[in-house]
Structure 1
């Protein structure tokens, strides 16, 4: 079975990350598949809303650290902007359709970053959000250093982005980046209800309103590039490589 499932429910396209044995840890192929699906949907007039979901217990555990360690150990010098993760985040940024996230379980790293590129987020009480980049010797990505403080204030963003603290669905709702808290197992069902409500609205008015509410794409893309430069440099730093190695050794122990 594919790691990415795509189905249409009337005017709603549902993209499901489906790698439950790895808690939906995203491979490069998965990143690119989701990005291509988003891009293919952008001009599809039959689709009025997109739902991005995981499986019960895992939206996504983020990027495989073994990939980070391999990239950091490589002699190739590149910014984060060349990675599959950045490709996915850019696809979210440029997509004009309303984006609804359905989170039930862990949303780690890019899983949390994605929330700030979505327009409506449903999360269950059992959900967990975390961005452990700094603890791994890395920096924020996907313009989260710009979007997260704007959405939830500098202090709360510092706690999540820099200190790496985990917060649950209720706390994320209080912080302002989760719209609705659902019962465990009900995130996708509730997200589909929201998407159906959005799909009934005049599509051009929705698209224009979304564009007006968002920061200019050029400004967000500029922060993508700045973060990507630092991310790529840090990924090759001694502190990051030591952190990756320590994490992988703890996992094996």
Structure 2
């Protein structure tokens, strides 16, 4: 068991908690594998009716671990990438259980991208959402280039994905990817209430209705693959190399 991804089953709900507070829950390749496993093993378990992903109080996730990401940049040959992060995204796409996110704090990069695969999102009032791929010389990931414009509209998505602007909790609710904004420290409790409400509904009707609301999985995986390919090309660029060189210098300072 990965000690940085804690999985518990209670009241027909699987709670997946990121626990790497010293790194603001930055997700390593090993953590991505644990997240995938937690989602995948819930699929054929009839006792699990809902899934919650949370980072605990104060932070959701800082996104990809920068050391891992820098390693990808250094080793990239400019071709398609195959990573545990991609496997995690596939798990999100292929998941058939209602998925709730409890965000209390910052959600960066894939921490924001994954929310667009969720069915219900609760955020603390001080939570922020950002997809700063552009600042690393990279491109959007997680099918965010498809899902964010579909949810938020082109202009908001452009500001977030291309300009790298941060979105507040209230603006995220207005943009349509956060359902409820609650006081700090209350996001997980509110997510559990939503999960309990979902678990009391007829499961087959929920599953069919959820499937009708979502884009076909194959459309999402095609976009993830395209983003991965383009990210692989960008990782081989001077822009990405310069960005990560600057980050490495700041971390050593």
* TM-score above 0.5, yes or no: yes
Distance 2:75 2:215 in 1: 35
CA contact (8 A) 2:29 2:68 kept: no
Q: Does 1:104 align with 2:88?
A: no
Distance 1:204 1:248 in 2: 50
Give the root-mean-square deviation of aligned CA atoms. 1.2
What corresponds to 1:225 in structure 2?
225
1:128-173 CA distance string (max 9 Å, x none): 1000001211000111100000000000000001100111111111
What corresponds to 2:202 in structure 1?
202
1:51-98 CA distance string (max 9 Å, x none): 000021211101122222221111555423x11111111101101000
CA contact (8 A) 2:78 2:235 kept: no
Q: Does 1:250 align with 2:250?
A: yes
Secondary structure of the structure 1 residue equivalent to 2:102: strand
CA contact (8 A) 2:77 2:236 kept: no
CA contact (8 A) 1:16 1:53 kept: yes
Distance 2:172 2:235 in 1: 28
Distance 1:129 1:179 in 2: 14
What corresponds to 1:56 in structure 2?
57
CA contact (8 A) 1:72 1:237 kept: no
1:1-253 matches, within 5 Å, as 2-74=3-75, 76-80=77-81, 82-253=82-253
TM-superposed deviation, 1:247: 2.1
Shift >4 Å, 4+ stretches: 75-78
Distance 1:75 1:226 in 2: 16
CA contact (8 A) 2:9 2:15 kept: yes
Secondary structure of the structure 1 residue equivalent to 2:227: helix
Distance 1:142 1:94 in 2: 13
CA contact (8 A) 1:109 1:131 kept: yes
5+ residue gaps in structure 1? none
CA contact (8 A) 1:68 1:235 kept: no
Query: How many correspondences in the alignment?
Result: 252
Secondary structure of the structure 2 residue equivalent to 1:60: coil
Q: 1:173 to 1:227 in 2, by over 3 A?
A: same
5+ residue gaps in structure 2? none
CA contact (8 A) 1:124 1:187 kept: yes
Distance 1:69 1:34 in 2: 21
Distance 1:182 1:236 in 2: 42
CA contact (8 A) 2:62 2:107 kept: yes
